[in-house]
């Protein structure tokens, strides 16, 4: 079986979050990055990893540590994991719907109910005759990018982490409120902020975010 070739982030060896991982967790992170598909979707295979490295690993502990300072892995409703920075790192954060590989990536994201990917979707290079129509059809149902959500939270006196929690929570829900499509994300964000006036430090918010996504 021929494995796909891809870029590897060598800068991780100088980053505190990676250096602080145990040896098993470092290996597991590299294993995930090497074995996820071309859209950054990974089907967890704890048994295979443990057979390869000859060591046991606690998945819950691993996710908590890896996502300690920022969200690097999102658990999807279908049991798979999504590596949040994979697409922007591998493809420069810009997908072209006319590119065969990029089109395949978008198809994989759709199949996994991922409707918004960091800052990738707003930068899609559409054919010229559809760009204007696409721009006009953008509604308030969801923020264009995670940065837009974070900026709105900061503008309202909240912080980056609450903005990320809000964004990834509703991203995992397909921007639905119950079974209804969200109509105005800023109103929902304002409600979120008012319910969470006592915001937690950066390193404390992950557990609640992951639990909320599993509900």
pLDDT at 189 over 60: yes
Give the pLDDT of residue 205: 42
Decide if 142 contacts 170 (C-beta within 8 A).
yes
The arithmetic mean of pLDDT across residues 51-59, rounded, is 84
Mean pLDDT of the chain: 77
Which segment of 44-48, 113-117, 189-193, 206-210 scores lowest on mean pLDDT? 206-210
> CB of 5 within 8 A of CB of 16?
no
Is residue 155 within 8 A of residue 149, CB to CB? The reply is no
For residue 148, give Cα distances in angstroms to 10, 153, 167: 29, 9, 10
């Amino acid at each position: 079986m021929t494995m796909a070739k891809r870029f590897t982030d060598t800068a991780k060896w100088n980053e505190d979050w990676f250096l602080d991982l145990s040896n098993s967790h470092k290996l597991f992170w590299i294993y995930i990055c090497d074995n996820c598909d071309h859209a950054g979707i990974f089907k967890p295979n704890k048994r295979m990893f443990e057979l390869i490295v000859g060591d046991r690993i606690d998945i819950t502990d691993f996710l908590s540590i890896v996502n300690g300072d920022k969200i690097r892995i999102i658990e999807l409703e279908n049991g798979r994991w999504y590596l949040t920075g994979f697409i922007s790192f591998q493809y420069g954060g810009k997908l072209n719907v006319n590119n065969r590989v990029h089109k395949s990536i978008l198809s994989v994201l759709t199949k996994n109910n991922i409707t918004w990917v960091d800052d990738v979707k707003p930068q899609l290079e559409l054919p010229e005759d559809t760009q204007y129509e696409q721009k006009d059809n953008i509604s308030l149902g969801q923020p264009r990018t995670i940065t837009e959500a974070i900026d709105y939270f900061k503008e309202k006196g909240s912080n980056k982490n609450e903005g990320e929690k809000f964004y990834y929570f509703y991203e995992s829900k397909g921007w639905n409120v119950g079974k209804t499509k969200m109509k105005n994300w800023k109103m929902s964000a304002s409600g979120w902020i008012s319910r969470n006036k006592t915001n937690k430090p950066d390193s404390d918010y992950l557990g609640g975010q992951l639990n909320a996504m599993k509900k």
